[in-house]
Each structure stands twice: as structure tokens, then as C-alpha cells.
Structure 1
Amino acid sequence: MELEQELKAVLDSKLESIRAAAESAEVSFESIWTYFQQSEQLLINLMNSQQSPPTAPGSIEYSWILYWLNNHAPTAWKEILVDLLKMPPSKISPDDWDKWIVILSGPGVLSGDGSLISTAKFAILDIGWVVALFTYYQLELGIIKRHSFNTNPARKVITGQDTLKVAMFGDWGTGNYKDGNLPYSPSQLVMNQIKAMNPDINIHLGDVYYAGTSSEEQTRLLNSWYKAPLANFTMNSNHEMYDGANGLIATALADPIFNEQNQTNYFSIEFGNWLIVGLDSAYYTDSKLFMEGALGQTQVNYLKSLDLQGKKLMILTHHNPIPETGISAEQPVLSLWNEVLDEAGITPDYWYWGHIHNGIVYADIPEMRSVKGRCLGNGAIPQGNASWFEKNPLIDFYCNTPLRNPTPDQKNRVTNGFAMLEFSANGDLSEKWYDQDGTLIWSS
């Protein structure tokens, strides 16, 4: 996991500004380091054949950070991290890492949620994630300022047709690149299928990688987008917040593709008896690395103001409102759920979200309070079969189709995908989920 020269040059160009900010910083990184230590333990357990439970703290996504920063970050960067930001040592030894990397540079291993621990492009150990890390540090140190939040939500009213066809996909912003035997990257395969199905509206549930910077929004979102005829929407996310939502708002939403979104992070689509409401679950969260969603009072008040008389409601967010393995006594609903159902007093008929890199249909259990929960974060990131979801009574379906014609390094992979939703003006809904090859894998 050595830095490429181009990436190293980008980081070095920001070195002095980060050093100066760190020297005068009043912000504490203690909670971030604790989170990274918890995340590292997940990797240690996994590489010792111990699968951590879903309730374990931390995130496998950030499991490599402490080892890499302590052992591979440029010396000048390490001095800032240790001396000024008080970074702790890693518990992973170089000898352990050298043994593990033989596997991780090949097919890799899978965590319980299907995350692919591998050095493959956009897998957990892709060196490019360093961009997200150091962009986030700049945000925390005040070098990057958050873009202002537009409190005038976009409103799209559609009339004159009996049905509305909407393509839904999440965590899709990887752009096109060479991926094993595939003719295109998973994200481009997904978009090619969407284009062939000719939807009226395209909605991306958020995440452009690695950090939602302006250049990434251009190359990995705009350059790969098929413009649907009626409207196009893309949502804020944890990765886009690492750059303070500047790339999202100033680059992506400023493009004519997203004219209907009016450079706002939240919006509504009215069609017949349907109201589809997209909310920004990233901007107002105070969780570490924006990993847990929150709406903030502005959007809670917006929900309260909606006229839902005679309407069916679909809520869209980037973040998940319930644990990825479903609601249980051990894992109750998350605060995002409470903001919508309790604070705003609204019970949506459907709730689609991304963030978790899988496609999951949750069971209709009493704890769901009649909300049909759908996770659709499998638009691009390489994943494997999630053992946590298999034979889980809280989950009716999850995406686990093995990748067709894989290389040896891709043997743990499953296909990515998207949904095509057809709304009827009378309130009916047809849900069809497809994989990246256009194969129908689930329908309601």
C-alpha cells in the first residue's frame, strides 16, 4: 500500500497548511483515534479467523488506517499526526501485515457485512482512500470550510402521465476503470443498464469517491451520468462531507444535468398520489466521519410542513435509519429513524437508503411500524456475500449473485446493481431490482 507519486504530490502540496492548522488547532482528535483503534480491532479479529459481531464498535472501512499511518505515511506527515494530533500506535505488527498482504493483495477476505478486505480498486485496502482521510483531516482542522446549506428545497411536480419510472442507485460514484474481466467498471455497467431501460428520472442516493472533491464529482459522477429526461437528483453523503459538500454543491449540482435540483441538498417529487422526498442525512450529523445520519431541525421542520393528505410517501436518505442486520433488541433503531417517525411525526410507506454497500429488503415486522425498508447501496463498490444477512429472519432478500467470469482475484465478489421503480398515479408501486448485467434479481 505505497503511495502513488501523483497522490503523494497532492498530499505534499497541502503539508504546510495542515501543519500550521494542527499547531494552532483547538479541536481534539482523541475520539477519532479511539474509533480507528476500534476499527483496527475488527481487522485483527478477521485476520485471526474471528468474525466480529454486528454490534462491535468501529468500522471495517477504517480498519487499516492506524497501521498505514504509523508504518507507511511520509515522515513529515507522521510527525504532524504523532506530535501535534497525538496519534496512537498500531497494534498490527509489520510481520503480521506482511503475512496478511499475500491474501489481501489477491482475492482478499470478507467481513460479515460483505466488505471486501482487499487491495483491489475501491475495496477496503485501496490506497486511494488516503484521499478521503486527509481531506477529512483538513475539514476537521478548518482548512476546508463547509459549503452553506440551501434551505429552499427543490420541488418537482409531474403531471400528464399515468406512470412514473424512476431509476434508483446508491454509492455509485467510482467512475469507469478497468476491473478484471469486466468490459466496464461496475458503476458504468449499472449506468449502461439504466440508460437502456429509459427511466423518466434518475436518483443517486449519494457517495462519490474518494472524498467527493470537485474533480471527483466531475470525473466519477458527471462524466458517467446518463441524463434522464424529466429530472436528475444526487444526494449528500458521508464521503461528500469530507470535502464539506463543496464538490457536491459547487460542481455536481451546478451542472445543467441537475438543474431540477436547484443546488439544494433536499427535494420533493410530486406525482399523482405519491410524494417522494429526498433528505440530506449527512450535513447535520455530528458522528465520527459522518458515519451515522442526522437531519437537523431544518429538515425535521420541513417534514412537518408537508401536506400528506391522501398521499403515499417515500423517504430517501443516504444513511441507514436502522441497523444493517435489521431491528432487534440488541440493535434498536438509529437516531435518523427517530427524527422522521417520532420528531417529525411521519411514517413513510417506503424508505430507500444507501451507505451500506449492499441491496437489502427488510422484513415487514412490527418494529418496522409499517415502513417498507430498502437499502440500495450496491451501485459500484466491490463486495462479497454478507454472512450476516444469510438466513437472517429480519431480511427478506439481499444481493448475493456471484460475479460472472471472475479473475482469481475476484472470486469473492458479487454483482453490483440498481432498482427501477414504477409509480402509478393511483398510489401503486412496482419495484424491480437488477444486477449490473440487467438480470432481474428481485421484484415486489
Structure 2
Amino acid sequence: MSTEALPENVFVTFEQISKAIGSPEALGNLDEAANKDTSIDPVQRGAIMAGVGHVLRQLQEAESRAGAKVLTTPHDAKAARLQSLVASGEAAKLSFQALPTGGYEAMFDTSDWGGWASVVWEKLKHLVPHDMVRPKSDHAAPFADKARIAVVGDWGTGLYGAPKIAEAILKDPDPFEIIMHLGDVYYSGTRAEVDSRFLKTWPRPRGAICRALNSNHEMYSGGDAYFDRILPSFGQDGSYFAYQNAHWTLIGLDVAYHDHAIDDEQVGWVLEVVRKAGDRKIVLFSHHQLYSNIESEQGDKLWSHARFGELLGSKRIFAWYWGHEHRCTIYEAPDQNFGIWARCIGHGGMPQSRDLTIDLPRATGAPYARADWRSCGPLTVLGNPLPSAVVLEGRNEFIVGEEDKFSPHGYAVLTFDGPHLEEEVRSATGVAIYSKRLA
């Protein structure tokens, strides 16, 4: 198959990446391309070349954790950009092998190692990010006092449960006012990936507002496609935003432009939105988590920011929905330090190994009877006591042939009715598997 007709949902395994950048031909030509580059000094060139081994290890470890031929990618910008490059067919010859789990494995080859190495070298160099696009106003846009919002995270794969979620949202008989993505289009949010894995199949029910949060994977390619394609497509004027009705203020944050952190100008905007909210309850949405009771990565850069940390410590924030981890986790009470009802809704389409959750004890009680929920006991993370939580477990029926290795995909529905908020977690096919009235 020629690269002029690339199939959709192409992904790249470690074996093919290793061939593309780790073989003797690749490394020799890459070293030659580096030595020809006079735009950076020899120390920088040496550091980039030395980092090739790290990139390969990151990719190999990510695939090893999955334990199957599925879409995988590490939290590493260079690795993600190289996966995007191979999958694009640029400067290479590709053939494709359909996999029973879904999608096509890109089989790499080239007869022009010098040309290929020049393109790879550019992907390994430091990338200048797109300028952040900020909202034009700190006045929250209105939303109805009675409204439903669909929240989906880490959805941009085009595979597995992701298209099922889009279908379920479109078929829902009750209208949505907002459809929100918590971020991540894989591998690195390039223009081609944004078009084929996100915009082409994103659910757009009639009358619904679409909003998308920035994420680390969109920023791995510099954020160009996020800022120049997703935001205009959604009619969204900035990477952070706010909505407000008589009882609630909803704030979407950009904590990815500066990785897992928030900048001073945005914090000033948030504080002004909160000031104008009066006594309304505040709900935050972001890609990265404030904390995690499963993974080691924590949001300490968020709560250690002086002014933002002061806001959190004031216990002014009622609830926070985030993604980044490819799981669904419901914290069963507000945390002690910040008083936040916290939820991870990052299980929209990326395969997540069950290794860390399959042996957890089953959660008991009526809210957890409709699915396989597991209990995580309370613990303290970086001095922050976290409440107990439940995490969605079970098999993923949409990763064909490897169903038992990966946890389910799904999304959340938030129903605002005057001062009340009802939250639901739904399966990828739209079946409610958890519900709770938070207010």
C-alpha cells in the first residue's frame, strides 16, 4: 500500500520504531545528520544523540506494560513525535498489517536512510511551542440552569471504545448542552492525528457546545493542531474557559501548556472568574490530575503554586474532573486539604493494563452493583491525605482478542438541575454503571 492512501488508525510498535531509529543504518545516518546541523552547539547535539537510547527504552517499557499489540505511547515528547512520524509515512515506505485488536500496524522500511535520518533529527530537536491562545474575557459564558454535560477524557485514539462512546453520545435521547474532551490525541496531536483520530469522529449533537482541553500529547507536537484546528473547529477562543448559571461556575483549565502546571496569567484569570462567581459552587476540569492514589505522578506543581494553591486551600472548589490516567476513579469523599470531590475520567479510548487494579478488593454497596468497581483505601500523597476511592475494573470488550488484559472504556454525564448536581459514569455503549448526587 502506498503512503498516499494511509489507512486510518495506524499505530507503531516498538519493533518498528527500533528498526526506524535504532538500527545501525538509522543510527549512522542520524549521527551524520546531527553533525551537519550547525544551528545548535556540539554539546546539544551530543545530548540529543545520547537521548536516543532513552527514547527507545521509554517506548519499549510502554509496550511491555501493555503486554499486547495495542496503541501504546509513553509520557515522552520525543518518543511520541517519532511514533507520529513513522505512522504518517513521511520520508519512509510503509506497509500495513491489520490487527485483530483493531487498527493497523505500520511496517517501516526506507531506501533513503539519509533523507529519513534528516527528518528524524528534526523531530528529536527542541520544539518551539505554539503561543498559548487565551480567552478574550474573564466573564463566564452562560449555560442553562438545567443542563447535561458529557465528559470524556483521553479519547483521541479512533480505536477500541472511543467510537462506541461517540455513537452513544449521539444516540442519547436527552440533549447535551456541552460535550467536553479532557485532552489527549495520540500520538503527539499532529494535524493528521487531530483530523483522523479526533475531529472526524467527535460527537456533535445538534445544539451542543463542544469544548476541548489542552493536554501533554497535544503539546508534544508543539500544540499547533490543538490551537489552530481544534479550537477554531469548536468555536473556542482559548485553551481555558468558563461557564456559569445561577448556581454553578464551570472552569476548564490549561495545565498542559506548562506540563502539569498552571501559569500566573491563567491563575489571575481563574481568581477573577471565581470572584465573580459569588456564592456559586465551582467545578474544575483539566487534563492532568491534582493527585492520584494509583500512579506515582502527582499534581504538586499545581497545589504548590502560591496563588492557585491558596485558592485550593480555601476549599472554594467543589469538584474537579480530570483525565491523564487512563482509568475511571471516583474518590468517595472530599479530600482533607482542599475539600474537593475528585474524579478521574481518563478512560475514553486508550488501552489501560489491569495490572495495578485487578487484585484490589471489590467495592460493595448499591452504587457499585452495576459494574466491577474496586476499592482503594485512603492514603497520604505528598502530605495530602486522600480519601478512599473506587476504580473501574473488568475486561474491555472492544480490544478484540485481548479483552482480559485491559480495563473498560467509558465517559461521564453531569446533570445540573438548579442547585443540584447528579453525576453518572457510563460504559462505552452508554449504559449507566454508577451514579451519585453530589449536591
Give the structure-1-normalised TM-score: 0.67
Match 1:411 to one of 385, 404, 417: 404
Q: 2:165 aligns with which of 190, 203, 208?
A: 190
TM-score (ref. length: structure 2)? 0.68
Superposed, 1:243-392 pairs within 5 Å as: 243-255=221-233, 258-259=234-235, 261-262=236-237, 264-285=238-259, 293-306=260-273, 307-325=276-294, 334-339=300-305, 341-344=308-311, 347-364=316-333, 366-385=335-354, 387=356, 390-392=374-376
Return the alpha-carbon distance in structure 1 between the equivalents of residues 177 and 299 of structure 2. 33
Deviation at 1:132, TM superposition (A): 5.2
Supply the AA of the counterpart residue of 2:349.
A
Give, in whole Å, the separation in 1 of the partners of 2:32 and 2:191.
20
Match of 2:431 in 1: 439
**C-alpha distance in 2, partners of 1:303/1:414?**
35
Separation in 2 of the partners of 1:124 and 1:84?
18
Q: Output aligned runs, 1:89-108, within 5 Å.
A: none
Question: Does the C-alpha gap of structure 1 residues 238 and 163 become closer, same or farther in structure 2, counting only changes over 3 Å?
Answer: same
Residue ranges of structure 1 left out of the alignment (5+ in a row)? 30-79, 111-115, 177-184, 286-292
Task: Give the superposition deviation at 1:218.
Answer: 0.8
**1:430 to 2:415 alignment:** no
Kept in 2, the 8 Å contact 1:132–1:242? The answer is no
Equivalence map 1:32-43=2 (5 Å): none
User: d(CA) in 1 for partners of 2:400 and 2:194?
Assistant: 29
Report the counterpart of residue 377 of structure 2 in structure 1. Answer: 393
Give the counterpart letter for 1:370 in structure 2. G
Query: Which residue in the other structure is 1:181 paired with?
Result: none
Say whether the 8 Å CA contact 2:329–2:391 is kept in structure 1: yes
The partner residue of 2:180 within 187, 197, 203 is 203
Q: In the alignment, which residue of structure 1 is the partner of 2:111? A: none
Tell me how far apart the structure 2 counterparts of residues 27 and 187 of structure 1 sit (CA, whole Å): 44
Query: 1:434: Cα distance to partner?
Result: 0.7
CA contact (8 A) 1:169 1:379 kept: yes
Amino acid at match of 2:277: L
- Separation (CA, whole Å) in 2 of partners of 1:382 and 1:128: 16
Residue 370 of structure 1 and its aligned partner are, at CA, apart by: 1.6
- Following superposition, the deviation at residue 201 of structure 1 comes to 1.0
Residue 34 of structure 2, aligned match among 19, 26, 39:
19
Query: Relative to 1, partners in 2 of residues 1:343 and 1:369: Cα closer, same or farther, differing over 3 Å?
Result: closer
TM-superposition CA deviations, 1:242-268 (whole Å, max 9, x none): 11110101111122xx01x12x10000
Paired residues, number:
346
Query: Which residue in the other structure is 1:119 paired with?
Result: 69
1:2–1:156 CA distance, 2 compared to 1 (3 A) = same
For residue 166 of structure 1, what is the aligned residue in structure 2? 149
SS of the residue 2:154 aligns to? coil
Taking only aligned residues, the RMSD between alpha carbons, in angstroms, comes to: 3.9
| Matches of 2:284 and 2:15, distance apart in 1 | 42
Q: Deviations over 1:192-213 (max 9, x none)?
A: 1111224221000000011001
Using the alignment, how far apart are the partners of 1:136 and 1:320 within structure 2? 32
Return 5+ residue gaps in structure 2 as ranges: 1-13, 87-118, 361-373, 379-387
Structure 1 residues 83 and 310, CA gap change in structure 2 (3 angstroms): closer
Distance 1:84 1:206, change over 3 A: closer
Q: Name the CA shift for 1:305/1:18 in 2 (closer, same or farther; >3 Å).
A: farther
| Paired residues for 1:35-184 under 5 Å | 85-87=49-51, 116-122=66-72, 130-131=82-83, 138=122, 141-142=125-126, 144-153=127-136, 157-158=141-142, 161-176=144-159
* Separation of aligned partners in 2, 1:400 and 1:222: 29
Task: State the match for 1:225 in structure 2.
Answer: 202
Distance 1:321 1:138, change over 3 A: farther
Asked if residue 214 in structure 1 is aligned to residue 191 in structure 2, the reply is yes
2:323 counterpart letter in structure 1? G
- What's the CA shift string for 1:342-364, capped at 9, x where partnerless? 24465310001000000101132
Counterpart residue number, 1:51:
none
Q: 1:223 to 1:332 in 2, by over 3 A?
A: closer
Using the TM superposition, give the Cα deviation of residue 226 of structure 1 relative to its aligned residue in structure 2, in angstroms.
Answer: 1.5
Distance 1:217 1:380 in 2: 14
Conserved 8 A contact 1:22-1:141: no
- 3-state DSSP of counterpart to 1:3: helix
Query: What secondary structure does 1:299 align onto?
Result: helix
- Matched with 2:371 is none
- Distance in 1 (CA, whole Å) between partners of 2:325 and 2:194 is 20
Q: Which residue of 2 aligns with 1:240?
A: 218
In structure 2, what residue type is equivalent to 1:302?
A: W
Shift of 1:334: 1.7
The residue that corresponds to 1:36 in the other structure is none
Describe the shift of the 1:152–1:27 C-alpha distance in structure 2 as closer, same or farther (beyond 3 A).
farther
2: distance between equivalents of 1:383 and 1:308?
37
- SS of the equivalent of 1:175 reads coil
